[in-house]
Amino acid sequence: MLTSAAVTVSLLLASNVFMTFAWYGHLRFRDYPLWIVVLASWGIAFFEYCLQVPANRWGYHHFSGAQLKTMQEVITLAVFCVFSVYYLKEPLTFKMMTGFALILAGAALIFHK
């Protein structure tokens, strides 16, 4: 049986996949009119919200609001790194990874007791 923390993290991870495609997936379709990609992004974002809202609602029993937001940002960066390499075909540079590592270090402070 999954714990509430595991369910929260799983839902946040899944919601971030949808969110990343909603926000950045259209970058491979630059020939489409902006209004079409906005509507497509909204459609994808609906599913992100269907996962994000329950994740925060259920996760708030185990985590603080600040911890939930911090998890969201760290998961967003992890998902984006994979998305960037495999979907956008952009390399992860040392500079980017160093910046992400600094953000992760800051996030660790939120969870430190």
- Express each pLDDT in 4-62 by its tens digit: 899 999 999 999 999 999 999 999 999 999 999 999 999 999 999 999 999 999 999 89
The pTM of this model reads: 0.88
**For the chain, what is the total number of helices (H) and then of strands (E)?**
4, 0
Residues 68, 72, 74, 76: what is their CA dihedral angle, to the nearest 10 degrees?
A: 180
Asked if 111 contacts 70 with a C-beta cutoff of 8 angstroms, the reply is yes
For 103, the enclosing helix (H) or strand (E) is helix 94-111
Domain that holds residue 11: 4-111
Domain count for the chain, please give it. 1
Q: Give ∠ CA 94-28-34 in degrees, rounded to 5.
A: 120
